Amino acid sequence: MSDAPAPAPLLRRLTAEAFGTYLLVFAVLGSAIFFAPDGGALPVALAIGIAVLAGAYAVGHLSGGHFNPAVTLAAAASGRMPWGGLLPYWLAQAIGGVLAALTLGLVGVLSGVSIDFGAVSNGFDAHSPLGLSLGAVFVAEVVATMLFALIILGVTAEGSTTAGFAPLAIGLALTMFHLVMIPVSNASLNPVRSLAPALLGGPDALVQLWVFFVAPLLGGIIAGVVYRPMFGAPRR
């Protein structure tokens, strides 16, 4: 996520956000559907980390490389982007994520395979891999998203000596958080990652979806609000 205002026209920025979010959701759902039943959490965590890394290097210079409504909210709350950009970014991200899920659904239809999107949706209680409660999942999602957003804000800060390596740090951080959070909730940290499979995952996934909107967005806005006072980043 770039600290400088993106010079690209709005349509190009939104296209970049849709592309990057498509890449992220395609990677995380595809690896979870086709690989995770045998390979466990590691392939899924690596897939989403690599996807974010690749997407940020490919189009991050255009849009800032958010690919996540919670990250966009953190950027707005920290003063990195105007609040007016929030809804257009969110819409572009949602379109990209939903299209990725539909693509995987089409792959299943064309191959005659029934894809269980409910199994790769986020959830709590019986739908948590560890059977964790609503409260436990909510707190974990808020904290993980907050920490992830703080890392993004830090490695992309103006004057950072590691700015060129920011996508690498962000991708590795997301891999780390997924290794922690997949057993907890199938790892959201991103409302669009949760929305995309829930739309195809049946009523149970849709009923629990609100948690994976509210918790990541809360984590993102907390990160945006506390970043400057915590780390002393001057407001430009």
- Model pLDDT, residue 7: 61
Which fold, 10-227?
Glycerol uptake facilitator protein (1.20.1080)
In order of 15, 101, 133, 210, the CA distances from 200 in angstroms are 24, 8, 23, 16
The residue extents of the domains of the chain are: 10-227
pLDDT, one tens digit per residue, over 184-207 is: 999 999 999 999 999 999 999 999
Looking at residue 159, what is its pLDDT? 74
Per-residue pLDDT band for 6 (boundaries 50, 70, 90) equals very low
Taking the whole predicted model, whether its pTM rises above 0.85 is answered as yes
The percent of residues above 90 in pLDDT, for the chain, comes to 85
Residue 231 has pLDDT above 50, yes or no: yes
| Residue 160 confidence class, pLDDT cut points 50, 70, 90 | confident
Has residue 119 got a pLDDT over 90? Answer: yes
- Confidence tier at 8 by pLDDT (50, 70, 90): confident
